[in-house]
Structure 1
């Protein structure tokens, strides 16, 4: 009876997500190469204007790391027609809010306004692209802002991903932290910042998404008026070095003065998030640590009481990914003992098919994630931008779930055997640093 109820619930969830979640959109290119995506949702008088640039922490001179994150701040400094310090005042005084974020692969800016302020949002983003003010005073101001952000961001284990990356990647720019090294920003000249802006912040390296309570014809005219005259830039060409495969297990140690309890990480280099294998690895992560009923939590935290926490995560990016297993010991348990327990679970996945019940459970979790991701116009706007910029296929917002639905238990076993082997990994001991 339990199995039939679970199957019925799964069928209902699939039927609901298939019928109710399709995201309608229209996309086209301006003559200057800017890609435009429009999504209409008239259920509330709200509009999102957003631009995603194909530039992230991996881009630029490796002696000048962190430029993309720096520009995330710098391009709020002001423009030819927006005074220094006025950007946020204009947004808030018109009933809006805005923000930006940067990853290793892209930078995303957005404003959320009442829908009668659509033109204001478009004008502001066109100003950011066409008339940014990049002067030494603004560079110096934002340099201090970034340093303060880094200081405030120092939390226990917060540097863990950077330590994994600098060990798992030897030549690819992913080895450097997204925020960069402060010495690089301190040494950078104004001319270098201007050159970075000219290279990456151009319409043909940008995707504009307008979503919400809009009229298509009116919106298209505004977009053409504000963004059409912006000149096309040179094409961005990337030739990143390729990583050699990891063929032998290696170890590393890192120290953090902000922790009292050590941690251990077992990390593997994995393929781009564009690949089917990456999506299978997502499912393996959910099986191992997707909630308190997951394999690692039940075994290491609940039953054996060996760990304060145990987690598996697929940190996939545009060029390469990292698959990482992480655990914090409880009491006198050694880090080696934690690795042994995690290895046992990986070996089980590589040897045996996971149960039908567990497989259905993780399928349900992915269906639920899909429904939630497309439940708000704000989330839809960022997804539309991401699927175009990162994957080159905007309609993945509707079709990617079909890939997850088509993954089999046999694939889960084969992908685990392909990527999660002892001779393909880093073991990182993350240890307290004596003050």
Structure 2
């Protein structure tokens, strides 16, 4: 059976946008007198609840002489509190049949628990203890220093290409705190005093710098008094929470360098400056990344890896950040292939999107893939809880969980070409050749 081209385009553009419109995430938002923002998403489909707290503090809020504190505190605040003994946090969770974890970025720190709905008071108590009574003392600090150092060894120092974020950041940013990574400096952590740690906790782990989100099987009428009981009396910060305001100047010219590492295959990494996540151009650039690198049928993978066989791996991705960040385009060369050939092939794909409009059929496929991904992010309680927190704390609008897709759907084929021409330029990038140590 043959389908006309226009009908095919129509069919391609239908399914997931309709589904996204029909299933908005419903929630209630309010603020306690101490500034803590609360978001409630009621869903009785399973007897599970996600309790999460996001703090508006990441590595960009750190003192340049004390980097790594935000990530360090992600670990430290599992040490216990005045009313929770060392090591007991996880015991409480496992005893309740719950799972808990945390993560840190350049912009925020996130803690969450997934637990049976009858255990919600336990999670609220533990998170309130973390916010008000956490133990920031020498024994816990020393323990977690060693944990973070081991994490660095495993994830960065002993991983092929593991240092690429650090090497890129120091060249891509000169004045903005994005110039260091979330893992920070082990030397800074070693030199820090107990007072440094205590002050960081007092400055950022305060109710007026956080969002509490509860998603799942609960009654708002029953849970609101609990929230007030556990969080309502926690005092807010007595001084404004520090927010960096420095603006990174334009790069101005291409920066090229070589890094030698314990790797078997050479690689190339190219970083381009891009706007912050709430900028309209970011959405076009994110779609452009998906076009170039959204799976094995994407342009870069298909051309550089499959057809030309120049690389064993190649792709692109963006850092979605509160302030202007970066898009990374990379390739790991195949055995015996010169890095310059991989660079030339990547550059050729970049030039294509700068000089040619994306065909309509490919563009519609891209939109459908994007819509699937965005809908999938809100298909679980964990995803809903984190997205509500992120949109509220980063942009002051939790309802972006429902409307963010509209920003993508406004992007046109012409926008993809325009942002490629505007941002994917040689004078707006850092190029690193990542070579085996024996070539040094």
Q: TM-score, normalised by structure 1?
A: 0.97
- 8 Å Cα contact 1:173/1:240 also seen in 2: no
> How many residues are aligned here?
433
Deviation at 1:274, TM superposition (A): 1.1
**Residue in structure 1 matched with residue 22 of structure 2 by the alignment:** 19
Question: Per-residue CA shift, 1:114-147, capped at 9, x if unaligned?
Answer: 0001111101100111111111111101111111
Secondary structure, counterpart of 2:319 in structure 1: strand
Secondary structure, counterpart of 1:389 in structure 2: helix
Which ranges in structure 2 are unaligned for 5 or more consecutive residues?
A: none
In 2, the alpha carbon distance for the partners of 1:294 and 1:27 equals: 40
Secondary structure, counterpart of 1:43 in structure 2: coil
- 8 Å Cα contact 1:316/1:323 also seen in 2: no
Cα RMSD for the two superposed structures: 1.3
In 2, the alpha carbon distance for the partners of 1:239 and 1:425 equals: 23
Question: Per-residue CA shift, 1:196-234, capped at 9, x if unaligned?
Answer: 000000000010001100101111111011100000112
1:57 aligns with 2:63: no
**Residue in structure 2 matched with residue 133 of structure 1 by the alignment:** 135
1:354 aligns with 2:355: no
In 1, the alpha carbon distance for the partners of 2:396 and 2:73 equals: 24
**Residue in structure 2 matched with residue 316 of structure 1 by the alignment:** 320
Map residues 129-208 of structure 1 onto 2, 5 A cutoff.
129-153=131-155, 154-208=158-212
1:236 aligns with 2:241: yes
Deviation at 1:148, TM superposition (A): 1.2
Deviation at 1:9, TM superposition (A): 4.1
**Residue in structure 1 matched with residue 231 of structure 2 by the alignment:** 227
Which ranges in structure 1 are unaligned for 5 or more consecutive residues?
A: none
In 1, the alpha carbon distance for the partners of 2:9 and 2:306 equals: 25
Map residues 275-314 of structure 1 onto 2, 5 A cutoff.
275-314=279-318
**Residue in structure 2 matched with residue 103 of structure 1 by the alignment:** 105
In 2, the alpha carbon distance for the partners of 1:333 and 1:33 equals: 57
**Residue in structure 2 matched with residue 247 of structure 1 by the alignment:** 252
Map residues 307-346 of structure 1 onto 2, 5 A cutoff.
307-346=311-350
1:365 aligns with 2:404: no
In 2, the alpha carbon distance for the partners of 1:134 and 1:425 equals: 41
- 8 Å Cα contact 1:39/1:212 also seen in 2: yes
In 1, the alpha carbon distance for the partners of 2:240 and 2:208 equals: 7
The answer to which of 24-33 and 330-339 deviates more is 330-339
- Choose the corresponding residue for 1:412, options 416, 423, 434: 416
The answer to which of 223-232 and 339-348 deviates more is 339-348
- 8 Å Cα contact 1:262/1:432 also seen in 2: yes
The answer to which of 102-111 and 423-432 deviates more is 423-432
Deviation at 1:17, TM superposition (A): 2.1
The answer to which of 425-434 and 262-271 deviates more is 425-434
**Residue in structure 1 matched with residue 42 of structure 2 by the alignment:** 40
Deviation at 1:2, TM superposition (A): 6.6
- Choose the corresponding residue for 2:13, options 2, 10, 17: 10
Deviation at 1:6, TM superposition (A): 5.3
In 2, the alpha carbon distance for the partners of 1:146 and 1:75 equals: 13
- 8 Å Cα contact 2:65/2:188 also seen in 1: yes
Map residues 55-94 of structure 1 onto 2, 5 A cutoff.
55-94=57-96
Question: Per-residue CA shift, 1:390-416, capped at 9, x if unaligned?
Answer: 122111100000111111001111111
In 2, the alpha carbon distance for the partners of 1:140 and 1:331 equals: 44
Secondary structure, counterpart of 1:316 in structure 2: coil
In 2, the alpha carbon distance for the partners of 1:76 and 1:298 equals: 44
**Residue in structure 2 matched with residue 113 of structure 1 by the alignment:** 115
The answer to which of 240-249 and 289-298 deviates more is 240-249
In 2, the alpha carbon distance for the partners of 1:390 and 1:417 equals: 28
In 2, the alpha carbon distance for the partners of 1:393 and 1:75 equals: 27
In 2, the alpha carbon distance for the partners of 1:360 and 1:54 equals: 36
Secondary structure, counterpart of 2:13 in structure 1: helix
- 8 Å Cα contact 1:70/1:146 also seen in 2: yes
Secondary structure, counterpart of 1:58 in structure 2: helix
The answer to which of 340-349 and 138-147 deviates more is 340-349
Q: TM-score, normalised by structure 2?
A: 0.96
In 2, the alpha carbon distance for the partners of 1:333 and 1:315 equals: 29
Structure 1: which 4+ aligned runs deviate by more than 3 Å? none
- 8 Å Cα contact 1:306/1:329 also seen in 2: yes
